[in-house]
Amino acid sequence: MLLNQTRDVEAVLLMGSTAHKPEFMDWDDFDVQVYTRSKPMRDSYYEILNDSGRHHLLSAYYFQLDPANHPVRNVTKQKDVQVLFGSKESLRHIFVDRPRRIEPLRHELREFGTRYERYFEILVDIFFILNRYEAKGKANATKPRVARDGLRTLSRHFFEFYGVNRQIPKQARWRNLMSEVVRLLYERGFAGKCQNAEFAKAAIELMRS
């Protein structure tokens, strides 16, 4: 499913902290960009991977390669990007713009009613981030603090999506809030609404455990 346009794929890139990591730990995520010759058939693809009891999250985003793009510095020069697949000709047209600061999630998600599956993917991202930073003993670092704020925003929108009147205090513990939201998604059969239902079901089961 990741490369569902196999003949059309021009490049596959792994980015972020796992790009050149010698050993993967529990709750690591693999942030991948896939570049295709024609317009991609999907925007994103998520999958949960299990490795001897360790949980990993694969998140892939699809882009159409722009042969008219000639960046001054291309992806082969980027230290936090590993090229998994791609010819020199294709790669010279790609530069991954990775912002240095962590962008918080907007508090009002106006397209939530039509993009609920994309926001569910972000919810799973947040679940992995918070588990990963807790395991490192860095729960108060900037990224998990931004993630907890994002969890409150997403939780409020999922409650509203299902017509549940629920006030979320800022001091709410993230595990309790996540458990409450996931229980709602499970009870309302949310996975059945998703295009990637297999991922949604696996993610809900993991977050319920």
Q: Hey, what are 166's tokens? A: 């629920």
What are the sequence ranges of the domains in the chain? 6-91, 116-208
Contacts (Cβ under 8 Å, ≥6 apart) of 203: 46, 48, 120, 124, 127
pLDDT digits over 51-110, tens only? 888 999 999 999 999 999 999 999 998 888 999 999 999 999 999 987 666 778 888 898
Q: What is the pTM of this model?
A: 0.92
Contact 94, 71 (CB under 8 A): yes
- Residue 10, both tokens: 């021009």
pLDDT per residue as tens digits for the range 103-150: 788 888 989 999 999 999 999 999 999 999 999 999 999 999 999 999
User: Is domain 6-91 annotated with CATH 1.10.10.10?
Assistant: no
State percent of the chain over pLDDT 70: 95
CA distances from 198 to 53, 172, 190 (A): 19, 30, 11
Q: Which two tokens stand for residue 44?
A: 């994103």
